[in-house]
Amino acid sequence: MKRLAFKMQLKPGYEQIYRQRHDAIWPALKQLLKNAGIHHYAIYLDPETYTLFATLELEDEEKYAALPQHELMRQWWDYMADIMETYPDHSPISTSLQEMFYLE
């Protein structure tokens, strides 16, 4: 199982909307992520900078890499684009983070 971490940027003032949308995440999207081998996916917010910090465990890198081509993933990105910093295709601007320490 591979661990990944990355950061994204929330637009100021949208904390509650972001939480509400994720509390009501589409069941089909949740299943798509599980089918891609994603486990223990968590997103944290730094309220001072509006930086979103995400971690997940991954079974299959190829399935994970294919997610951006899935229509449902693109629909979610479109849904979230008004409250996050995104690329022109509405995919979230994200920066991979390098693991420096892990205690099992």
User: Contact, 90 vs 8, CB < 8 A?
Assistant: no
Burial, 65: exposed, middle or buried (Cβ in 10 Å; 0-12, 13-18, 19+)? exposed
Task: Specify whether the CB–CB gap between 104 and 57 falls below 8 A.
Answer: no
Q: Are strands 95-96 and 38-46 parallel, antiparallel or unpaired?
A: unpaired
Rounded CA separation 6/17 (Å): 21
End-to-end distance of the chain based on CA atoms, in angstroms?
Answer: 13
Q: Is 22 a catalytic residue?
A: yes
Residues tagged active-site: 22
